[in-house]
Amino acid sequence: MSTEKKEIVVLGAGVIGLQTALTLLEFGYSVTIIANYWPGDDHIEYTSPKYHWRTHAGPDDPQGRRFDKETYEHWLELVKKDEDTGLVLIPEIYIWDHPTPEIANSGASIWWSTLVPDFVPLTHPHPLLPATAHFGISYKSFCLNPQKYLAYLLSRNADHGVKTHTHEVDSLTDVFEYVPEAVGVVNCTGLGAIDLVDPVEAEKLFPTRGQTILVRGEAEMARLRIGEGYIAYVIRRPGEGTILGGCKVDGDWNAEVDKELSKKIVERCKILAPELLVDGEFEVISEQVGRRPSRKGGPRIEVEWKEAEGRRRFICHHYGHSGAG
């Protein structure tokens, strides 16, 4: 039996590609990552530098719940053994302005109430619950500095001998020109998949626009508020400041900062993070726009087989993680 390691290409160096490559390396494969954007780059077509642990999975999304649970448990282990991850486990407050089915039974039906440490329902009167809010919870969640986390993942890949190439490919099978010995490719191209998959699949992909503001100072805790027609959040970015957000607009490709929206974000967040205000205002460092890579029907994790460069090879799709990368 051959002892040579099988070679696999991972296309994409976002959080999905870097973690996929690392897992394959840990399972004993030889891996080459090909991507046009890398940790350290800042580009609208590269989503991963924009993002904390917050589950978006509802009761009818068992796959999303499994991914979010595994991520949370993986990070709990990671922060115990590695220092340079960019991750911190800190208190988070989650506030609802109106009743929803999710928060019936004083939050007991929230699926992740048994996953996260220190889960406590907040009811009036409570110093952490704004007067106009309906209900809240506090628990411990992860905030991260995404650029640091991506750099950490890349360095873990390097420790395992990953090979890297910077290229923009025009088709998924192009990767086999660069790495002819590869038995297959994992397609982790986020929204970039729109130009690489067949037209029926491409039609399912769309951006969900987000806009955030980086401000000076690190918030004592993360806070997230679901209001009438908006979400507002304050997320510590360790070593850099605090992110204020946000918005989620499906199908919006606008890459420019919407100044009116920025003003609303600032006003909504003032009540959430008063400890960061200097003379009543935040000290703004930067404003940014990101595109969550969304897909009708949820993420595509699927294998197909293709003849490429004279050999049958697998193409494993792993994209479309939207706001839950």
Ligand X SMILES: Cc1cc2nc3c(=O)[nH]c(=O)nc-3n(C[C@H](O)[C@H](O)[C@H](O)COP(=O)(O)OP(=O)(O)OC[C@H]3O[C@@H](n4cnc5c(N)ncnc54)[C@H](O)[C@@H]3O)c2cc1C
**Tokens 């605090």 found at:** 242
User: Does residue 50 bind ligand X (CB under 6 A)?
Assistant: yes
Stretch that binds ligand X, among 24-32, 40-48, 128-136, 303-311 (CB under 6 A): 40-48
Written as one letter, the residue type at 320 is G
CB of 282 to ligand X, least distance (A): 17
User: Does residue 261 bind ligand X (CB under 6 A)?
Assistant: no
- Is 48 marked within a binding site? yes
CB of 127 to ligand X, least distance (A): 26
Residue from the set 9, 17, 31, 244 that interacts with ligand X by CB under 6 A: 17
- Is 323 marked within a binding site? yes
Closest CA to 193 of 202, 184, 180, 185: 202
Q: Considering only residues 152-171, where is the footprint of ligand X by CB under 6 A?
A: 168-169
Nearer to ligand X, 12 or 136 (CB): 12
Residue span 302-321 as binding mask against ligand X, x where in contact by CB under 6 A, dash where not? -----------------x-x
CA dihedral 300, 253, 285, 268 (to 10 degrees): -90
Residue span 192-221 as binding mask against ligand X, x where in contact by CB under 6 A, dash where not? x---x-------------x-x---------
List CB contacts of 176: < 8 A, sequence separation 6 or more. 9, 182, 185, 308, 309, 311, 313
CA distance 282 to 162: 42
- Is 47 marked within a binding site? yes
Q: Token digits for 194? A: 């729109």
- Is 120 marked within a binding site? no
User: Does residue 15 bind ligand X (CB under 6 A)?
Assistant: yes
Stretch that binds ligand X, among 8-16, 91-99, 249-257, 307-315 (CB under 6 A): 8-16
Q: Which alpha helices (DSSP H) does 170-249 contain, by range?
A: 175-178, 199-202
User: Does residue 293 bind ligand X (CB under 6 A)?
Assistant: yes
Residue from the set 22, 25, 54, 308 that interacts with ligand X by CB under 6 A: 54
Instruction: Please return the burial class of 9, using the count of CB atoms within 10 Å of its CB with bins 0-12, 13-18 and 19+.
Output: buried
Under a CB-based contact definition with an 8 Å cutoff, are residues 293 and 251 in contact?
A: no
- Is 189 marked within a binding site? yes
Q: Is the N-terminal amide bond of 246 cis, ω within 30° of 0?
A: yes
Nearer to ligand X, 15 or 276 (CB): 15
Residue from the set 6, 7, 29, 36 that interacts with ligand X by CB under 6 A: 36
Residue from the set 107, 136, 184, 190 that interacts with ligand X by CB under 6 A: 190
CA dihedral 137, 142, 147, 151 (to 10 degrees): -170
Residue from the set 32, 51, 103, 317 that interacts with ligand X by CB under 6 A: 51
Number of helices and strands in the chain (H, E): 6, 15
Under a CB-based contact definition with an 8 Å cutoff, are residues 168 and 7 in contact?
A: no
Written as one letter, the residue type at 212 is T
Estimate the crossing angle of helix 15-26 against helix 146-159, to 10 degrees: 30
CA distance 118 to 105: 18
CB of 29 to ligand X, least distance (A): 19
Feature table: binding site: 47-48, 169, 189, 233, 292, 323
Binding site for ligand X (CB under 6 A): 11-17, 34-37, 46-48, 50-52, 54, 168-169, 188-190, 192, 196, 210, 212, 246, 290, 292-293, 319, 321-325
